[in-house]
């Protein structure tokens, strides 16, 4: 059991930021990543569809005998975590709780902003998780559908991106939030612009960074951690994508600094 890999899935390649954090923290663990690039994005789709796709992804990773499943996608974590935890016999960790805990603990104004996809914001998952941690915190959520497209276009530090960010983030600034949760795996790519627009007094919480600690605690608690190796160099992860268009392979490379030859194709229907 112990040497079995950690499974990670995301709607696309954005969740590779989560894999990077996990590998940095636990270089002795093997990782298998599945990006459902053929059916992405999840963020505009219904709960039913996101649950169905999440179960497909989990089934594929279970066949690879993973010992723990990380749902790196915020939308899938928001809409499908309960269903996955009910159906699978391994621990399932989403990204919402870690981000919510960090946000609740960090806010001094007790006003937290959350940005995410339409589906994540509509689900109210971050609000519920933050209120569970700290009932006194007020949460203001805004869907930012253009951010994924801007990040994928590579317009990361760009005047157009800045103007769009100013427009999306205005209600959060008006409410005086001092913590902003980046509730989508693509958004950390826009950190410089988001940080500039929100100003220095606002902490940006990246759920990808936070979740690695939660995964480590969970493995530890269950006695599932691998023994530290003699040399602490990360094992190369296995990466599967449901669509291997040049577009996604380029994005993989950009996020991981990684040769796309090591990406395998898998057909989930």
Catalytic site positions: 73, 184
Does 264 engage in binding with a second copy (CB under 8 A)?
no
Whose Cβ is closer to a second copy: residue 103's or residue 197's? 197
Does 135 engage in binding with a second copy (CB under 8 A)?
no
- Region near a second copy per CB under 8 A, out of 84-92, 134-142, 153-161, 232-240: 153-161
Residues 5-34 that bind a second copy (CB under 8 A): none
Selected from 118, 133, 235, 266, the binder of a second copy by CB under 8 A is: 118
SS3 of the chain: helix, strand, coil, percent, to 5 = 50, 15, 35
Does 248 engage in binding with a second copy (CB under 8 A)?
yes
- State the minimum distance, in angstroms, from the CB of residue 100 to a second copy: 24
The whole-angstrom separation of Cα 10 and Cα 181 is 18
Distance of CA 247 to the CA centre of its chain: 20
Does 58 engage in binding with a second copy (CB under 8 A)?
no
Asked whether 205 and 99 are in contact (CB, 8 A), the reply is yes
Does 150 engage in binding with a second copy (CB under 8 A)?
yes
- State the minimum distance, in angstroms, from the CB of residue 82 to a second copy: 19
Does 146 engage in binding with a second copy (CB under 8 A)?
yes
The whole-angstrom separation of Cα 187 and Cα 193 is 10
DSSP label at residue 225: P
Non-local CB neighbours of 83 within 8 Å, separated by 6+ positions: 51, 54, 55
Does 233 engage in binding with a second copy (CB under 8 A)?
no
Residues 59-98 that bind a second copy (CB under 8 A): none
The whole-angstrom separation of Cα 10 and Cα 16 is 8
Does 157 engage in binding with a second copy (CB under 8 A)?
no
- State the minimum distance, in angstroms, from the CB of residue 153 to a second copy: 6
Phi-psi region of 176 (alpha: psi -120 to 50; beta: other; left: phi over 0): left
The whole-angstrom separation of Cα 19 and Cα 7 is 9
Q: Which residues pair with 264 in a beta bridge?
A: 240
**Other residues' Cβ atoms within 10 Å of the Cβ of residue 67:** 20
- State the minimum distance, in angstroms, from the CB of residue 131 to a second copy: 24
Selected from 4, 25, 49, 204, the binder of a second copy by CB under 8 A is: 49
- Residue 23 phi, psi (nearest 5): -65, -35
Selected from 163, 170, 217, 233, the binder of a second copy by CB under 8 A is: 163
C-alpha radius of gyration, the chain, whole number: 18
- State the minimum distance, in angstroms, from the CB of residue 108 to a second copy: 33
Direct distance between the N- and C-terminal alpha carbons of the chain, in angstroms, rounded to an integer: 29
- State the minimum distance, in angstroms, from the CB of residue 193 to a second copy: 14
Which residues of this chain interact with a second copy, rule CB under 8 A? 37-39, 44-46, 48-49, 52, 118-119, 122, 145-146, 148-150, 152-153, 159-160, 163-164, 167, 242-248, 267, 269
């Amino acid at each position: 059991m112990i040497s079995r890999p950690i499974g990670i899935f995301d709607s696309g390649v954005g969740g590779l930021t989560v894999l990077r954090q996990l590998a940095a923290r636990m270089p002795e663990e093997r990782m298998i990543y599945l990006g459902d690039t053929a059916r992405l994005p999840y963020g505009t789709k219904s709960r039913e569809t996101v649950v169905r796709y999440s179960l497909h992804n989990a089934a594929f990773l279970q066949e690879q005998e993973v010992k723990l499943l990380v749902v790196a996608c915020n939308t899938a974590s928001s809409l499908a975590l309960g269903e996955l935890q009910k159906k699978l016999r391994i621990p399932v960790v989403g990204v919402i709780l870690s981000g919510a805990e960090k946000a609740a603990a960090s806010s001094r104004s007790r006003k937290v902003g959350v940005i995410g996809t339409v589906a994540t914001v509509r689900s109210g998952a971050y609000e519920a998780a933050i209120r569970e941690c700290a009932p006194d915190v007020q949460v203001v959520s805004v869907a930012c559908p253009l951010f994924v497209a801007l990040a994928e276009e590579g317009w990361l530090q760009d005047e157009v991106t800045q103007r769009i960010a100013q427009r999306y983030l205005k209600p959060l600034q008006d409410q005086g939030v001092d913590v902003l949760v980046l509730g989508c795996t693509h958004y950390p790519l826009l950190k410089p612009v988001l940080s500039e627009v929100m100003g220095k007094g606002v902490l940006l919480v990246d759920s990808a960074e936070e979740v690695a600690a939660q995964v480590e605690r969970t493995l530890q608690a269950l006695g599932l951690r691998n023994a530290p190796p003699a040399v602490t160099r990360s094992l190369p992860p296995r990466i599967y994508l449901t669509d291997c268009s040049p577009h996604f392979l380029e994005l993989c490379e950009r996020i991981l600094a990684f040769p796309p030859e090591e990406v395998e194709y898998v057909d989930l229907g």
